[in-house]
Structure 1
Amino acid sequence: DEEVIFQPLGVFAAITPFNFPFMIACWFWPYAVACGNTFILKPSEQDPMIQQRVFELLEEVGFPPGVINLVNGGKDAVNALLDHPQVQGISFVGSTQTAAYVYARGSASGKRVQASGGAKNAIVVMPDANMDAYLATMMNSFYGAAGQRCLANSLVLPGGAAHDSARERVAGAARELRVGDGMESGVSLGPVVSAAARDRVVAAISAGIDEGAEAVVDGRRVAVADRPKGYFVGPTLLDHVRPEMRVYREEIFGPVVGMTPVGNLDEAIALINGAEYGNAASIFTESGSAARKFRNEVQTGNVGINVGVAAPMAYFPFSGAKRSFFGILHPQGRDVVRFYTKSKVVVSRWTAGDGAPVTGVGR
Structure 2
Amino acid sequence: MAVAPGDIRFEVAGHLTGNFIGGQWVAAQSGQRRADVNPADFTDVLGEFAESGGADVDLAVEEARRALDGWRALGPVERAAFLTRALRILDERSGELAYAITREQGKLLKEAAGEVRRAEAVLEFTTGQARRLGGVTAPAEEERTFAYTFRRPIGVVGLISPWNFPLAIPMWKVAPALLAGCTAVLKPSPLTPLTSAVLVDVFRAAGLPNGVLNLVQGDAAAGEALVANPAVAGISFTGSLAIGTAIHAGGAHRLLRTQLELGGKNAVVVCDDADLDKAVEAVVHGAFGQAGQRCSATSRAVVDVRVREEFLERLVARVAHLRVGPGFDEASELCPVVDTGRMDAALAAIAGAQRDGGKVVCGGGRAERADLPDGCYLQPTVIRDVPWDAELAQEEVFGPVLAVVDAVDFDDAIRIANSVKYGMSGTVFTASQARAFEALDRFEAGMLHVNRPGVGAYAHLPHTGAKASQYGPPECSPEVFDFYTAWHSACISY
In 1, the alpha carbon distance for the partners of 2:476 and 2:249 equals 22
**2:208 matches 1:46:** no
SS of 1:208 mapped into structure 2: helix
Are the aligned partners of 1:179 and 1:224 in contact in 2 as well (CA < 8 Å)? no
In 1, the alpha carbon distance for the partners of 2:180 and 2:248 equals 23
- Equivalent runs, 1:270-281 vs 2, <5 Å: 270-281=415-426
The residue identity in structure 1 corresponding to 2:368 is A
Given candidates 150, 159, 171, the residue that maps to 2:295 is 150
**2:257 matches 1:105:** no
Given candidates 349, 356, 361, the residue that maps to 2:493 is 349
Residue in 2 that maps onto 1:138: 283
Are the aligned partners of 2:299 and 2:402 in contact in 1 as well (CA < 8 Å)? yes
The residue identity in structure 1 corresponding to 2:376 is Y
The residue identity in structure 2 corresponding to 1:344 is H
**2:452 matches 1:307:** yes
The residue identity in structure 2 corresponding to 1:335 is E
The residue identity in structure 2 corresponding to 1:201 is A
**Superposition deviation, residue 14 in structure 1:** 1.0
SS of 1:170 mapped into structure 2: helix
**Larger helix percent:** 2
Residue in 2 that maps onto 1:328: 472
- Equivalent runs, 1:108-187 vs 2, <5 Å: 108-187=253-332
Residue in 1 that maps onto 2:179: 34
Q: What TM-score do you get using the length of structure 2 for normalisation?
A: 0.69
SS of 1:260 mapped into structure 2: strand
- Equivalent runs, 1:10-29 vs 2, <5 Å: 10-29=155-174
Cα deviation code 1:129-182 (max 9, x no counterpart): 112344323211010000111010110011131211211111111011110011
Cα deviation code 1:56-91 (max 9, x no counterpart): 222223222211110112222111111111111001
Residue in 1 that maps onto 2:229: 84
**2:408 matches 1:268:** no
**Superposition deviation, residue 219 in structure 1:** 3.5
The residue identity in structure 2 corresponding to 1:297 is R
The residue identity in structure 1 corresponding to 2:483 is F
Calculate the aligned-residue CA RMSD, in Å: 1.4
Are the aligned partners of 1:82 and 1:109 in contact in 2 as well (CA < 8 Å)? no
**2:330 matches 1:202:** no
Are the aligned partners of 1:90 and 1:106 in contact in 2 as well (CA < 8 Å)? no
In 2, the alpha carbon distance for the partners of 1:323 and 1:123 equals 19
In 2, the alpha carbon distance for the partners of 1:221 and 1:349 equals 72
Are the aligned partners of 2:462 and 2:479 in contact in 1 as well (CA < 8 Å)? yes
In 1, the alpha carbon distance for the partners of 2:291 and 2:254 equals 37
Given candidates 233, 258, 283, the residue that maps to 2:403 is 258
Are the aligned partners of 2:429 and 2:450 in contact in 1 as well (CA < 8 Å)? yes
Are the aligned partners of 2:180 and 2:484 in contact in 1 as well (CA < 8 Å)? yes
Pair 101,140 (structure 1): closer, same or farther in 2 beyond 3 Å: same
**Superposition deviation, residue 191 in structure 1:** 0.5
Are the aligned partners of 1:107 and 1:113 in contact in 2 as well (CA < 8 Å)? no
Structure 1: where are the runs of 5+ without partners? Answer: 351-363
Residue in 1 that maps onto 2:110: none
Cα deviation code 1:3-61 (max 9, x no counterpart): 11111121111111111111111121100110111111000011111111222222223
- Equivalent runs, 1:217-296 vs 2, <5 Å: 217-296=362-441
In 1, the alpha carbon distance for the partners of 2:167 and 2:253 equals 29
The residue identity in structure 2 corresponding to 1:233 is L
SS of 1:348 mapped into structure 2: strand
Are the aligned partners of 2:147 and 2:491 in contact in 1 as well (CA < 8 Å)? yes
Residue in 2 that maps onto 1:338: 482
The residue identity in structure 2 corresponding to 1:100 is T
Matched residues, number: 349
Cα deviation code 1:246-287 (max 9, x no counterpart): 211211111000101101111111112221111111001111
The residue identity in structure 2 corresponding to 1:173 is R
In 2, the alpha carbon distance for the partners of 1:103 and 1:165 equals 45
Are the aligned partners of 1:158 and 1:259 in contact in 2 as well (CA < 8 Å)? yes
The residue identity in structure 2 corresponding to 1:21 is P
SS of 1:232 mapped into structure 2: coil
The percentage of aligned residue pairs carrying the same residue is 32
**2:211 matches 1:66:** yes
Residue in 2 that maps onto 1:353: none
**Superposition deviation, residue 107 in structure 1:** 2.6
In 2, the alpha carbon distance for the partners of 1:247 and 1:262 equals 16
Structure 2: where are the runs of 5+ without partners? Answer: 1-145
The residue identity in structure 1 corresponding to 2:387 is R
In 1, the alpha carbon distance for the partners of 2:405 and 2:355 equals 16
In 2, the alpha carbon distance for the partners of 1:322 and 1:335 equals 18
**Superposition deviation, residue 334 in structure 1:** 2.5
Are the aligned partners of 1:35 and 1:341 in contact in 2 as well (CA < 8 Å)? yes
SS of 2:224 mapped into structure 1: helix
Residue in 1 that maps onto 2:150: 5
Bigger mean CA deviation after superposition, 266-275 or 32-41:
266-275
In 1, the alpha carbon distance for the partners of 2:476 and 2:253 equals 24
In 2, the alpha carbon distance for the partners of 1:14 and 1:108 equals 20
Bigger mean CA deviation after superposition, 198-207 or 223-232:
223-232
In 2, the alpha carbon distance for the partners of 1:108 and 1:124 equals 41
In 2, the alpha carbon distance for the partners of 1:214 and 1:92 equals 36
